[in-house]
Amino acid sequence: MFKKNARYSFKKGMPAKNFSSRFFNLRYQKNNNEGLRCGIVVAKKIDKRSTVRNRLKRIFSEALKKVLEEKNINFDLVFFLKKESVGKNFFEIQKEMEEVLINTAVI
């Protein structure tokens, strides 16, 4: 779970740019020196069980913390998880996330 000031608020609308990968779709946008704000969205159609959806959120948030540790980033990131991410281990997700963030010039 991210701190309250690091969570993305959907009241501001959606970030403008879009990037798709095997496990998730990433919406991202540079913000005005407000630090990193993140959101992780897991739809009910991925899995009906809340335990599975919450586990995916925990895995993705930890992977994001590992990838972005000690980096000063001013971006809004929203991850929309795909069904392919169910059952994947932490290291596969972390590797994919790192590749995507490098490709999108976030890090």
- Asked whether 70 and 100 are in contact (CB, 8 A), the reply is no
Overall CATH class of domain 4-103: alpha beta
Whether 56 and 46 have beta carbons less than 8 Å apart is answered as: yes
Q: Residue range 61-75: average pLDDT?
A: 91
Nearest residue to 65 via CA among 25, 17, 41, 101: 101
What pLDDT is stored for residue 2 in this prediction? 83
- In 3D space, the residue among 59, 54, 78 whose CA is nearest the CA of residue 6 turns out to be 78
List Cα–Cα distances, 54 to 3, 65, 101, in angstroms.
17, 17, 23
Q: Is the pLDDT of residue 1 over 80?
A: no
Length of the chain: 107
Q: What is the pLDDT of residues 10-55, one digit of tens each?
A: 888 888 899 999 999 999 999 988 889 999 999 999 999 999 999 9
pTM: 0.91
